[in-house]
Amino acid sequence: MKRSSGARLGATAAVSVLSLALVTGCSESESNGDKGLGSQDDAPAAEALSAAELQKLLVAKGDVDGFTFSAVDKTEFPAEKKAITGDEKCKPLTYVMSGLAPGDAAAETNTMATEEKSPTDTASKSLEDLTEGEFEDAFGDSMNINVTVVGLSSYDGDGAEKTFKSVTDAVAACAGGFTAGSGGEEQKITKVTEKKASGTGDESVAFTLTGDMEGQEGKLQGEVVRHGNNVAAYYTMNIGALMSGKDYDIPAALIDAQAGKLK
């Protein structure tokens, strides 16, 4: 993992972009061994979408204003789960940070959404004409951009429910931190904090990952949402906020746009 980025699990890709994540009750007859009509056993098992179907449902250009979309760079993000190392119980969170399906999906796809930035007054000036204060403000503002990896995955049967539970279990079990790595390099996440989720889909969980970035504390944002037997995962980084220590969130408009395509 890239040590300055949050360990090859996303910030290096963000920097390069800025430079140019069934329960049913039993009836009385069921308790007597008679399942009856319309029971869970009679319902057809959920079937996963194909990769092609999933790709059509992935948020893209034209679905939401204010973002550009590009392919996730596999030289910066792990292409396969087998490349990922670290604490086993926390791997669902590491997968989200890597743009990979948090569970054993039948199909998955992803994209990178970069927030478009409006030009500032200082943008029209040459570097030589900027005061020291203007230069610092312009540099910080240029880096204050949310870059989000959006991943979609689809599951057979109750796979989506199990996958979502694995994420919520990891948020609780890994609250004290964990290590995550790929390519022989590891990053230390010092804390995992659950936060208010978007509330979209059938169930959702959001979390902040606090990492040690070369001795400086940095925060990364994640959310996982289950939509039936599909799971949407969001992982957002903001280099400017990482540098300044300011809070930021996964763009709500992006989550809403993706949720709308999964209804």
What is the pLDDT at residue 132?
A: 56
Q: Which helix (H) or strand (E) holds 256?
A: helix 252-261
What is the pLDDT at residue 44?
A: 67
CB neighbourhood size of 214 (10 A): 8
pLDDT in tens, 118-162: 654 434 445 455 565 544 454 455 678 999 999 999 999 999 999
- The answer to whether position 216 is within a domain reads yes
Total domains in the fold of the chain? 1
Instruction: Tell me which of 216 and 85 has the higher pLDDT.
Output: 85
- The answer to whether position 32 is within a domain reads no
- The answer to whether position 37 is within a domain reads no
- The answer to whether position 2 is within a domain reads no
pLDDT in tens, 25-62: 333 333 333 334 344 455 567 899 999 999 999 999 99
What is the pLDDT at residue 187?
A: 87
- The predicted model gives 222-236 an average pLDDT of 98
- The answer to whether position 246 is within a domain reads yes
CA distance 110 to 180: 20
Q: Which helix (H) or strand (E) holds 103?
A: none
CATH number at residue 241: 3.40.1000.70
What is the pLDDT at residue 254?
A: 98
Q: Which helix (H) or strand (E) holds 227?
A: strand 216-227
- The answer to whether position 31 is within a domain reads no
What is the pLDDT at residue 78?
A: 84
DSSP state at residue 120: P
Residue 198 — very low, low, confident or very high, per pLDDT cuts 50/70/90?
Answer: very high
Are 79 and 9 in contact by the 8 Å Cβ rule? The answer is no
- The answer to whether position 155 is within a domain reads yes
- Give the residue numbers spanning the domain of 125: 11-22+46-261
CA distance 198 to 224: 9
- The predicted model gives 5-15 an average pLDDT of 41
Residue 93 — very low, low, confident or very high, per pLDDT cuts 50/70/90?
Answer: very high
- The answer to whether position 117 is within a domain reads yes
Mean pLDDT of the chain: 81
- Calculate the alpha carbon distances from 44 to 24, 107, 149, 185 in Å: 15, 20, 33, 44
DSSP state at residue 97: H
- Is the full-model pTM beyond 0.75? yes
